[in-house]
Amino acid sequence: MNKCAVVVILAAGEGTRMKSAKAKVMHKVCGYPIIEHVVRTAEEISESLPVVVVGHRAEQIEQYLGQRVRYAYQAQRLGTGHAVMVARPVLEKTDGYVVVVAGDIPLIRSCTLQKMVRFAYEGRYDAVALSAILEDPTGYGRIIRDDAGDLERIVEHKDATDEQRQVKEINVSAYCFNIRALLASLDGLDNHNTQGEYYLTDVIHIMKERGNRVGAFVTWDADEVLGINTRVQLAEVEQKMRQRINRRHMENGVTLIDPNNTYIEPDVVIGCDTIIYPGNVLEGRTVIGEECILYPNSRIVNSLIGNRTQIQASVILDSKIGDETTVGPYAYIRPGSDIGNEVRIGDFVEIKNSSIGDGSKVSHLSYVGDGSIGRDVNIGCGTVFVNYDGLKKHRAVVEDNAFIGCNVNLIAPVTIRKGAYIAAGSTITEEVPEKALAIARARQVNKEGWVERRQLKKKGEGDK
């Protein structure tokens, strides 16, 4: 049974230290906005739509998340307690436990929040604060426990005594509350402090005074509670998430030659016994098959790569590549391309919105745009699929077993039938029949003595 009724994500802060025109939670970590990571975690622990408290640059967050979440609007940023207050209309219609989490901690794991909820449920706590142990807790609020080991209070660093500052257990800004107890305690919250804000940590104190049971749950991994307030922290969290992602792939049977210089986004899937060299960037929902080799410095985005395929120093975008195919170096596979099995795509080849059948070869220095290439076709060096007439794109079709010589222009729309040959240097504008040879170039003419006559003419003009 899922014990978490709803998750409230606090994302209304201005994030002034980011020095950016973007909302803080819209900055990206491993390819996705910070808020995306937190929302995904929320979706894993509760069946209800998360509630995102927005304020500063709310439109950016709404445009990105759309209908995946519910929104509560904090017009004035009057503290974390006030942020929960604006979510009250949702909470009043809900029973059970609510998890309140900051929107700027993308490393937080769903399993950690689930354990916190279970800890609250099994211990009959009305409130549980998530905590972590830091060797250097400077600047963080301290968790002060009573003799029974329960949470006595949370003391901010600036208010802590010297003895309290020796405590290494810190408050993480993630909580689990019994909703009814939370709502009752919010009624007693005030802003009588130097900042004039309503602090969520004061709810803990109010509950304690009212006799509610309050506890703290320690996460084993202090890294997952790291918040982001600056670009430096953004980079630090990015590095830690990359390490987490890369470790998961290595534990699943993928070899990363240099994990510190391999960039893999969270949704990428990689088959076992694949070897990835440094400098590779794998983005979006890319799927890499088994026993592949990704040599250094490729970027692959939202693409499907088959088994035993080798890629070297190339860009592949929104495309599909089959088994035992080789790509690169320096190939550019643009969106909408579907490349078959045992295909050779060589150096400085550009493919766009085209299909290439099994066993075909586009070995070097060619452009295939809006083309359909059959099986066992050879595309010679320097071939260009001329697909654009200045107004519209047109498609060229090359059927099975055709041979296209070097430096050929195929002026689309045009069809090259099965087994046809195109002579090097030809410009083809009409259909080529099956097994025919097409030659579309001027006959060679040699003019004997032309160079000498030109030089004499040039000298004569210079004497005038």
252-438 maps to CATH 2.160.10.10: yes
- Give 107-122 pLDDT, tens digit per residue: 999 999 999 999 999 9
Is the pLDDT assigned to residue 444 strictly greater than 90? no
Is the pLDDT assigned to residue 454 strictly greater than 90? no
Average pLDDT, the chain: 94
How high is the pLDDT of residue 464? 61
Q: What are phi and psi of 182, to 5 degrees?
A: -65, -50
Q: What is the mean pLDDT of residues 169-173?
A: 89
% of the chain surpassing 70 pLDDT: 99
Is the pLDDT assigned to residue 219 strictly greater than 90? yes
Q: What is the mean pLDDT of residues 316-342?
A: 98
Q: What are phi and psi of 316, to 5 degrees?
A: -130, 120
- Give 243-266 pLDDT, tens digit per residue: 999 999 999 999 999 999 999 999
Give the lowest-confidence range in 193-197, 290-294, 313-317.
193-197
Domain boundaries, the chain: 4-225, 252-438
Residue for token pair 């706590």: 125
Residue 95's contacts (CB-CB under 8 Å, 6 or more residues apart) are 5, 179, 180
Is the pLDDT assigned to residue 2 strictly greater than 80? no
How high is the pLDDT of residue 257? 98
Q: What is the mean pLDDT of residues 45-66?
A: 95
**pTM reported for the whole predicted model:** 0.90
Band of the pLDDT at 155, cuts 50, 70, 90?
Answer: confident
Tokens read off for 332: 């550019």
312 close to 328: Cβ distance less than 8 angstroms: yes
- What positions carry a catalytic annotation? 364
Distances (CA, A) of 122 to 3, 5, 35, 125, 313: 10, 16, 30, 8, 54
Is the pLDDT assigned to residue 1 strictly greater than 60? no
How high is the pLDDT of residue 3? 75
How high is the pLDDT of residue 463? 66
How high is the pLDDT of residue 141? 86
Q: Which CATH number fits domain 4-225: 3.90.550.10, 3.40.50.300, 3.20.20.70, 2.160.20.10?
A: 3.90.550.10
How high is the pLDDT of residue 458? 79
- Give 358-383 pLDDT, tens digit per residue: 999 999 999 999 999 999 999 999 99
Q: What are phi and psi of 444, to 5 degrees?
A: -70, 135
Is the pLDDT assigned to residue 195 strictly greater than 80? no
Give the lowest-confidence range in 85-99, 128-142, 253-267, 409-423.
128-142
